[in-house]
Amino acid sequence: MDFPHGTASGANTAPLSSDRDTLDDDSNSHKDPRTTTNGPRTIGVKAEGIQYVDRHAVRIITKSDKDEIVIIYAKKGNYYKLPGGGVEKGEDHRIAGEREAMEETGCKVALDRDCFAVTEEWRNDLHQTSYCYAARLVEHTGATELTEDELVDGLQHEWISIRAAIEKMKATQPTSELGRFIRERDLSFVETYADRNGASLPSVEDQKCQSSD
């Protein structure tokens, strides 16, 4: 689950303990999974005079044996996102990712040892670092455990090809600031994943050929 917004500007208040997207204020809670050669992609702008709340999160791209990945559509805000959420204090990234995938999509997954992409996000008074991992589908149970907020947001997951996922994420125009941040972040993760796996979008010439068929 994504943290919907920062706290009141300038405040350093964590979410209620019942929120499974808790803040990770322990810099030693993960074993530095940042193995990417490039630095994190920055989303948003750090503003002067704001006391930011630091948060770590994981995002997961799960691939099935049909070469499809699972993405989530949020009806409220009209955007697509990847499964994932906050890393709890002292929690291993892979455990967090496996938990979030099960809760949001009903999928048992096995995450790769290292993440392949990182983003650093500045939104309101939230400073979030997101680590994206590739994962293998172990079992699709179909039993999600969505929170009340996620049910209100109308979250629905679907399996789709990597190319189709990129096309959908690009074509959908979010109606909220949160949705726009999430779209930019997760689209960058899926495009990076596609490039690494030779599944990028069709070229302009390919698209012209398809339209003329």
131 DSSP β-pair partners: 58, 118
pLDDT by residue (tens digit) across 92-116? 999 999 999 999 999 999 999 999 9
pLDDT band at 48 (very low <50, low <70, confident <90, very high): very high
DSSP 64: -
Is the model's pTM score more than 0.85? no
SS3 102: helix
CATH 3.90.79.10 assigned to 41-212: yes
User: In the predicted model, is pLDDT for residue 146 greater than 70?
Assistant: yes
16 DSSP β-pair partners: none
Neighbours of 189 (CB within 10 A): 26
Task: Specify the residue for token string 């990770």.
Answer: 24
